[in-house]
A and B are shown apart, each in its own frame.
Chain A
Amino acid sequence: MSKVINTPLSDEVTCNLHAGDRVLINGIIYTGRDAAHKRLAELLERGEKLPFELHGQVIYYVGPCPAKPGNVIGSAGPTTSGRMDAYAPGLMEIGLKGMIGKGSRSKNVIDSIVRHKCVYFAAIGGAGALLAEAIKEAEVVAFEDLGPEAIFRLRVENFPVTVIVDTEGKDLYEIGRSQFKR
């Protein structure tokens, strides 16, 4: 059974999610990957305002395919999260509550997740066609010049993810592997 949650996320919601839980996300999420994170970090460094309010929000590490005519978005599966590790703690510091990607996170990121009661979810990597079906609206909100790396505001319905790192710092990648290692 999946847990159904709505964004933006509160501590009450994140603390109720545990590594290994299957979750369906509803509401608004924002996309961002390598180049967009670099620009967000530069804005923060200069003390400028971010292009969207980060408090309680979820960032999805994705660079979607262009939408075919009549479609909301093209295929849109997760990219490898580790490349955003350098930027994630700074964003959690100012209110980011959830991240969706794939692949393991650094100790530094996991420490920040625990400190700020955040959660790291994985969507199935390489299932971009399936995941796009849960995206109902998409509009670019910043950095349009980056093409697929622009920041999109997405409205999702029952977007399927799995909790990897929870507010206690438990990591499904470690737990799962030790369970099946021979």
Chain B
Amino acid sequence: MRELSADVITNTVERLCVESNYFLPGDVKKALEDAALKEESPVGRDTLLDILKNAEIAERNQVPICQDTGLTVVFVELGQDLRVVGGDFNEAINEGVRRGYKNGYLRKSVVDDPFLVRKNTGDNTPAIIHTTIVKGDKLKITIAPKGGGSENMSALRMLTPSEGVKGIKKFIVDTVDKAGSNPCPPVIVGVGIGGTIEMTALIAKKALLRTVGEHNPDPEVAKLESELLAEINNLGIGPQGFGGRITALAVNIETFPAHLASMPVAVNIQCHAARHKEAVL
């Protein structure tokens, strides 16, 4: 059985925390450039160009794209033929987060309890870790820092099957409409449909990791993504909510089988600083 030292995991997580916060992914940059060409509102266009300029400055000066360097969401795919040695697996990840946020001068944005004292933990831990066991002997780590502004505008509803596609569309468009300027548009809309309450939220989050411009492989779902993107961009919210044609860069839907009584839908809104970075060990 292949062995992997916990230290290697810590070092990798540290590096990914810093890089994901300094460098905007290429697909997101490309989508913003395309959006600037399409945007009809002059203020909206200037805003998109400023967002691109910001990404350039962050890259050049090696500083965070956004001061909200987020809660650290970590997706791990752990190969079943791999054994982690020399330390606790989850602690190895949290130690990487601790070092990345300190050494990368990232903001510490975690409070230790959600509604009492709300004292900052001081090191951005604990990370939100989702681990799946997969075939093989590799370890894939994806770091996706998630800011509070867009997360706060996200929503989940247990729809009934009779509400159908119409009900799903209405809930998604209404959620983006209500969010307005708050989640830093242009946004990426991650949608989960099906599963249980926690599964639909999880697949909505995972949908945000998809390359911008790629569709769900199911043609019916892909069609729904395109229709929703058009409807959302007809809301007129525009870049930063200043008014315009580009409110969203993409709508990414993931689905999962559901209980015969249920049709849960989760909408996870991602700001334009759609940060994520992965490594395979």
Instruction: Tell me, yes or no, whether A25 is within 8 Å of chain B by CB.
Output: no
Question: In A131-182, which residues have CB < 8 Å from any B CB?
Answer: 131-133, 146-149, 160, 162, 172-173, 175-182
- Of the candidates B57, B58, B184, B245, the one whose C-beta lies within 8 Å of that of A180 is B245
Residue in B47, B107, B238 whose CB lies within 8 Å of A63: B107
- Alpha-carbon separation in the docked complex, A40 to B244 (Å): 37
Q: Which of A67, A79, A128, A181 contacts B236 (CB 8 A)?
A: A181
- Which A residues are CB-close (under 8 A) to B53? 127, 130
A79 to B67, CA, bound (A): 9
Number of CB contacts from chain A to chain B under 8 A: 170
Q: How far apart are A123's CB and chain B's nearest CB, in angstroms?
A: 9
Interface centre among A67, A75, A82, A148 (most CB of B within 10 A): A75
Check if A76 is an interface residue, CB within 8 A of chain B.
yes
A80 interface residue (CB < 8 Å to B): yes
Q: Are A122 and B107 within 8 A (Cβ)?
A: no
| Size of interface on B: residues with Cβ below 8 Å to A | 50
Q: Within 8 Å of chain B (Cβ to Cβ): is A20?
A: yes
Q: Does B120 contact A (CB under 8 A)?
A: yes
Residues of B within 8 A of A124 (CB): 47, 50-51, 54, 240
* Contact A68/B242 with A20-B43, A80-B182, A129-B58 known, Cβ cut-off 8 Å: no
Of B148, B181, B244, the residue contacting A102 (CB under 8 A) is B181
**Which residues of chain B (33-65) have a CB below 8 Å from chain A?**
40-41, 43, 47, 50-51, 53-55, 57-58, 61-65
Interface residues on A, range: 35 or more
Other-chain residue from A62, A79, A175 in contact with B243 (beta carbon distance below 8 A):
A175
Give Cα A131–Cα B61 distance, bound, in whole angstroms.
13
Question: What A residues does B57 contact at CB under 8 A?
Answer: 129-130, 133
Given A75-B63, A103-B180 in contact, is the A181-B234 Cβ separation under 8 Å?
Answer: yes
Q: Contact between A68 and B235 (Cβ–Cβ < 8 Å)?
A: no
B256 at the interface (CB under 8 A from A): no
Please report A residues at the B interface, Cβ cutoff 8 Å. 20, 22, 35, 62-68, 71, 74-77, 79-80, 82, 102-104, 122, 124-133, 146-149, 160, 162, 172-173, 175-182
**Which residue numbers of B lie inside 8 Å of A, CB to CB?**
40-41, 43, 47, 50-51, 53-55, 57-58, 61-69, 105-109, 118, 120, 122, 147-149, 152, 180-182, 184, 234-238, 240-245, 271-273
In the complex, besides A104-B181, A126-B66, 11 extra interface pairs with C-beta distance below 8 angstroms are A20-B43, A75-B58, A102-B149, A102-B182, A124-B50, A125-B240, A127-B51, A128-B65, A129-B63, A147-B108, A176-B241
24 A-B pairs (CB sep. < 8 Å): A20-B242, A22-B43, A79-B148, A80-B182, A102-B149, A102-B184, A102-B240, A104-B180, A124-B47, A124-B51, A127-B51, A128-B68, A129-B55, A129-B63, A146-B120, A148-B109, A149-B120, A162-B240, A162-B242, A172-B243, A173-B181, A176-B236, A176-B241, A176-B243
